[in-house]
Structure 1
Amino acid sequence: MARGRKVNSNGEKSKQLLREKAIELFSTNGYYQTKISDIVKAAKVTQPTFYLYFESKDSLFHDLNEQFQQDLFHILEEQLQQQGMQFQKVIENLLQYFASNPLLTKIGLYQSEASYTVKEKLVEKFEQILDGQVENYHNLQRNDIHIVSQSLMGSIERITDTLLLTNRKSAKELAEDLFSIYFVEEAESVVVS
């Protein structure tokens, strides 16, 4: 007879509940201020239940960061495989992921020690996408794609925190704004007499 818990058993639900409560607490209080006892209390399970699924608070935090990174780069890889994907839509989908997962985004994009690496990988993906679209955007023909990608990542990081996660603007609106700043063709010069 097979051993272990069945999928969708109370054990699976307990593990998922621990992850959800940990996301809430880590994103609100930060890693160092969140204790295992806080997580199990919020999840209404025992501490031994916590240790059935996670070795430590650190392993749980690492697991959440891994989830964030896998989801994020899965989205980008899917888009890279689509021929003719417009870069504005890539940015919109990235921002939509952040908006749909605001607490996990706070952890993965801002709080985690791995957040710097995540942002560098995003810059690399932007460069990869833009390198194939140089002919579509005039300013890419005259600017360093690496600098454009770094600047774009900085903008995304800032507006995600101040506008997207605060619900002041939607992912679509922000993608349109960013695209108009970074990629719209320059208007013809108007001579003022």
Structure 2
Amino acid sequence: MGQRGRKKGANGEQSRALLLTIGAEEFAKNGYYETKVSDIVKRANVTQPTFYLYFQNKEAIFNELVQLFHDKLFEYIKRSRLEPGIELESISMKITFGLKNIFTFLSEHPDLTRIGFLVSNDAEDMKKELVELIEGNLSYEVQEGYFHENIDMNLVAECLVGMIERLTFTKLFQGLKDPESLAKEIVDLLLNGMISKQD
């Protein structure tokens, strides 16, 4: 049995997970071009041959991290879609819960978030895909009677992606807001607006 076979199992999975974690830190801090495999393996305290057991090259580990961010974020967005039959009084709470989960994921994975939103060459395409997914959720929710039909849901989706990205870096990562309070404030703004309610 070759070296690849000997590396399978719990220790192999731990080494692979460690390389992904440290790789994410290095790419997030230094960018793609300034990150070196030698720096990743040095910090992980493994050999370069060990790295190449799991990843073909630097591009392979980077692409896996980008894909991991994409898949997890999109999973949370898909789960945030409002299901049919929600009481009107519960809509705000349900949307806040979904948005809080998204911000929680981003706050728990700051390096992946920086890679996915900023470092990756595919970041802009990913954001466009994100807009399409959110717009699809919103259009479904319009059909369910939760929102007005005369609102441009593409515009709303673009705004939401912009808010999520920008506020993650300026509020969440700075420790100025936690996921729940950030989600509540966004939902309150979008559902209730800014006009003072005067009697």
The TM tier, using the shorter chain, reads 0.7 to 0.9
Instruction: Give the TM-score, by structure 2 length.
Output: 0.83
Q: Percent identity, aligned pairs only?
A: 35
Question: How many residues are aligned here?
Answer: 188
**Residue 173 (structure 2) aligns with:** 165
The aligned amino acid for 1:179 is V
Q: CA RMSD in A?
A: 2.5
Taking a change above 3 Å as real, the CA distance of residues 188 and 14 of structure 1, as seen in their structure-2 partners, is: closer
Offset of residue 38 of structure 1? 0.7
Contact 2:80 2:99 in 1 (8 A): no
Contact 2:82 2:95 in 1 (8 A): no
The equivalent position to 1:117 in structure 2, one of 125, 128, 132, is: 125
1:136 equivalent in alignment to 2:146: yes
CA deviations 1:102-159 (Å, max 9, x no partner) are: 111111122111211221222122212222333434xx44431111110121111111
Distance in 2 (CA, whole Å) between partners of 1:132 and 1:88 is 18
Distance in 2 (CA, whole Å) between partners of 1:188 and 1:78 is 33
Instruction: Give the TM-score, by structure 1 length.
Output: 0.85
**Residue 41 (structure 1) aligns with:** 42
**Residue 97 (structure 1) aligns with:** 105
| Structure 1 unpaired stretches of 5+ | none
Offset of residue 49 of structure 1? 1.1
The aligned amino acid for 2:74 is F
| Structure 2 unpaired stretches of 5+ | none
Greater RCO structure (CA 8 Å; 6+ sep): 2
**Residue 96 (structure 2) aligns with:** 88
CA deviations 1:76-103 (Å, max 9, x no partner) are: 3334485547333222211111011111
CA deviations 1:26-80 (Å, max 9, x no partner) are: 1111111111111111111111111111111111100111111111122233344
**Residue 8 (structure 1) aligns with:** 10
Contact 1:87 1:129 in 2 (8 A): no
Distance in 2 (CA, whole Å) between partners of 1:79 and 1:126 is 9
Contact 1:87 1:130 in 2 (8 A): no
Contact 2:80 2:95 in 1 (8 A): no
